[in-house]
Structure 1
Amino acid sequence: MDATIAIGLDDVEAAPSVVAIGFFDGVHRGHQSLIARTLKIASERDARAVVVTFDRHPMEVVNPGARPPLLMTLEQRLAALAAQDVDLVVALPFDDSLRHLSPMDFVDHVLAGPLQATHVVVGANFRFGHKAAGDVTTLADLGPAFDFTSEAVTLLEMDEAVVSSTEIRGAIERGDVAQAGRWLGRPYVLEGIVVRGDQRGRELGFPTANMQVDPRAAVPSNGVYAGRFGLPDGTWQPCAISVGTNPTFSGVTNLRVEAFLLDFDGDLYGLEAGVQFTHRLRDEVKFDSVDALIEQMHADVARTRELLAD
């Protein structure tokens, strides 16, 4: 059963809790390991298992120009956290009021209120409080005054790297969606609304769903990918995905994410959908002719079929 989701603490009922805190962008394997530890301790203490996150990336408030591209929308992140078998997910509004809390005031406001934290689980690189003045040592030092214990979970390592949102963003920006998927524990999904494009794909025999994505989202580097498109009935339709500016045609300057659904005929306009990226097929190329582009598109679709059949 999925968790209860609360925006802020005002409507949260008071109960002893074991609390995990973090932004959790991507809810990747490292986050899942931390939450699994939270669940274990909550079970041992017969307490509520709670995940505390924030409604926006802290850098969006502290230094908007330095905010990284995001792996998930807030809605995606809350849904993924709620599916981790915890009892409650709390999204704190990260505003100027929260931003300026000292580490002690943060603990008092967030952990010592209705959450009644008895134990707090964080990543080894966790920072909190005004100007990120608090760290895992600060949290441990404050615990006795507020009657909770705490622990810092060692960051997970896979493929000779620490699994982190930053590493996953880097893989996506390089177009290495397979590596990003290994660290996430599932294919990377980019969400958006299907909008009307210039209809050029239809003219070429490859009608595409043109995705209008959140400008804050992490978008794979320009190229062609294999993946799946989420349909309203909950199924995922195999597709070939183009990310780029269609350099074979002049006049296109804005970045486009377009999915050609294999063996599908239907109207997708206006649909809020997700596109899974599973494999990178090739770089974006400017072709000498439309015929050469069409020939390559047939090859891309054939390769997509092979990869997704496996």
Structure 2
Amino acid sequence: MAVLRWTDAAHTPPQLNPCVATFGNFDGVHRGHQAVIARVRAEGERRGIPSVVVTFDPHPVRVLHPERAPELISPGPLHEDLLAETGIDGLLVIPFTWDYAQQSAEDFILSTFVRGLGVQALVVGADTKGFGVGYTGDVDLIRQLGADHGFEVVVLPDLGDDQRWSSSAVRAHLRAGEVADAAAVLGRAHRVVGTVVHGFHRGRELGYPTANLERRSRGVVPADGVYAGWLTRLDLPPEAVDRRLPAAISVGTNPTFEGTERTVEAYCLDRTDLDLYGEEVAIDFVEHIRPTLKFASIDDLLEAMSADVAKARAILE
């Protein structure tokens, strides 16, 4: 069943009221988020009612403290797609404005979850805090409102293995080029999405034609370097043979050619027959191969590219 998406709790589709719900920014939809949402689904199934995620657009920090706003791991449609893939029944995306932020934490819970969603259980993380005007909302307030208004509050502890699963940890790993470590927190390879545009065509001239992503691609671009990963052609149907292709990915300014513009480009292994211009593609970063280097000659560059392709092939096999 398709996920129902709407933007105003007062106009909740009747088939989603009552429900079990949770709320948050869920940037990256990492393993901690996935665990919370899985509990929402389980609580809903136990009660025979739907599961709903409540999130905000734009990220509240972008409105309240734009100078501190984080670069989003999974912005816009990519974020909503990742949430939909968790198997929820409904996605309430609240437009976050300065005026909206002026409501009290109590009003937020009552208007959204009690009156809007008819929530029977609200699932939150133990670190849920700082919502509502004055940042006064926390788990204790939610528990009190649950007791007063007849909904159960399910509190999950911080989750993680050797580190806490958090969006901040993912960003730190990506800034360091540690895409495998980022994937360990995300539960999947990190993805950047964009349209393929014309570049300088140097890759084609060297025998390694690359798909260059537009500068305004969606998702945090990892540190400069060469990576093994996958290119997915989002315009093709899921069953298409050439939809998902193994790739060697370069992030950087092409210092061997004195480049200044930072680019993301992917060479689909052993494929020189593809015409991807204008297509929307996803680049999934699996493993870091080497840092970006400036080579003394084209021959040195070609030797390195050949080794990169061999390493990418070995990793992806």
TM tier, smaller: over 0.9
* AA at the equivalent of 2:264: V
Matching residue's letter, 1:295: E
Q: Cα distance, 1:213 vs. partner?
A: 4.7
1:116 positional shift: 0.7
Match of 2:72 among 70, 73, 81: 70
Q: Which residue of 2 aligns with 1:157?
A: 160
Cα gap change, 1:208 to 1:258, in 2 (>3 Å): same
1:10 is displaced (CA, Å) by 4.7
Q: Which residue of 2 aligns with 1:17?
A: 19
TM-aligned CA deviation for residue 216 of structure 1: 6.8
Residue 85 of structure 2 corresponds to which residue in structure 1? 83
Query: Against the structure 1 CA distance between its residues 289 and 131, is the aligned structure 2 distance closer, same or farther, given a 3 Å change threshold?
Result: farther
Name the SS for the 2:193 alignment partner: strand
Selected match of 2:260 from 253, 259, 283 = 253
2:226 alignment partner, SS class: strand
Change (3 A) 1:257 1:6: same
Taking the aligned partners of 2:134 and 2:311, their CA distance within structure 1 comes to 49
For 1:206 and 1:281, the matched residues in 2 are separated by 17
Per-residue CA distance 1:244-292 (angstroms, 9 max, x = gap): 1111112x22211011111321211111110010010000111111111
Report the alpha carbon displacement of residue 236 of structure 1 after superposing the two structures with TM: 1.2
Aligned to 2:276: 268
The corresponding residue for 2:3 is 3
Do the aligned partners of 2:10 and 2:115 also contact (CA within 8 Å) in 1?
no
SS in 2 for 1:193: strand
Verify the 8 A CA contact 2:193 2:218 in the aligned structure 1. Answer: no
- C-alpha RMSD of the superposition: 1.6
TM-score (structure 2 length as normaliser): 0.92
2:298 corresponds to which letter in structure 1?
V
| Structure 2 unaligned residues grouped into runs of 5+ | none
User: How far apart are the structure 2 equivalents of 1:56 and 1:216?
Assistant: 14
Amino acid at match of 2:202: R
Partner of 2:36: 34
Compared with structure 1, are the counterparts of its residues 138 and 22 closer, same or farther at alpha carbon in structure 2 (3 Å cutoff)? Answer: same
TM-score (norm 1): 0.94
Q: 2:307 aligns with which of 299, 304, 309?
A: 299
Partners of 1:2 and 1:287 lie apart in 2 by 50
Distance 2:218 2:46 in 1: 40
Q: CA deviation at 1:140?
A: 1.2
Match for 1:181 among 177, 180, 183? Answer: 183
In 2: Cα distance, 1:99 partner to 1:117 partner? 21
- 5+ long unaligned stretches in structure 1: none
Map Cα deviations across residues 91-139 of structure 1 (whole Å, 9 max, x no partner): 1111112211110111122112230112111112222112422111121
Distance, in Å, in 2 between the alignment partners of 1:199 and 1:11 is 51
CA pair 256-21 structure 1, distance change in 2 beyond 3 A: same
CA displacement at 1:180 relative to structure 2: 1.1
The residue that corresponds to 2:223 in the other structure is: 221
How far apart are the structure 2 equivalents of 1:8 and 1:180?
A: 33
1:52-89 Cα distance to aligned partner (Å, 9 max, x none): 11122111111112111111122122122222222111
Give the counterpart letter for 1:5 in structure 2.
R
Structure 1 residue runs of 4 or more that deviate by more than 6 Å after TM superposition: none
